[in-house]
Amino acid sequence: MHELAIAESVVRIASRQADGRRVTKVQMKVGYLRQVVPSALTFGFGLVAEGTPVEGAELQMEQVPAEGRCRGCGVENKLGSLPLQCGGCGGFDLEILKGEELMVESLELEEA
Ligand SMILES: [Zn+2]
């Protein structure tokens, strides 16, 4: 399960940055193209966080829609489905501008 591997790296990053304090909230950005199932990621996060400083933290995900610029006609497209296709000319050769994000954006830590 791909979400479990993502959850492991999120918990690892958050634990390291927390530097001994408890994490109460983790905010992350998840691009559409990552094909992450939010409920599966939340579930995996809960499992992996057990016994770490991240245990019990809330996971907030901001979904980033996909955007791409067509290499054929230059139109910028908001991409809502796969396969990725240009709305201007119907081409499939798109430079991805957004939608591949997968990062921990911020943490909230318990007051020391
Ligand atoms: Zn195009």
Residue 91 lies in a domain: no
Q: Name the average pLDDT for the chain.
A: 95
- Decide: 100 and 65 in contact? Cβ < 8 Å: no
CA 69 – ligand 1 centroid, Å: 8
| Ligand 1 centre distance from Cα of residue 84 (Å) | 11
User: How many distinct structural domains can be found in the chain?
Assistant: 1
CATH number of residue 33's parent domain: 3.30.2320.50
Calculate how far, in angstroms, residue 94's C-alpha sits from the geometric centre of ligand 1. 8
pLDDT of residue 53: 96
Encode the chain (112 residues) as per-residue pLDDT tens digits: 599 999 999 999 999 999 999 999 999 999 999 999 999 999 999 999 999 999 999 999 999 999 999 999 999 999 988 889 999 999 999 999 999 999 999 999 998 6
Place of tokens 């990053």: 13
* Inside any domain, residue 46: yes
Residue 89 placed within a domain: no
Domain of residue 39: give its range: 2-65+99-109
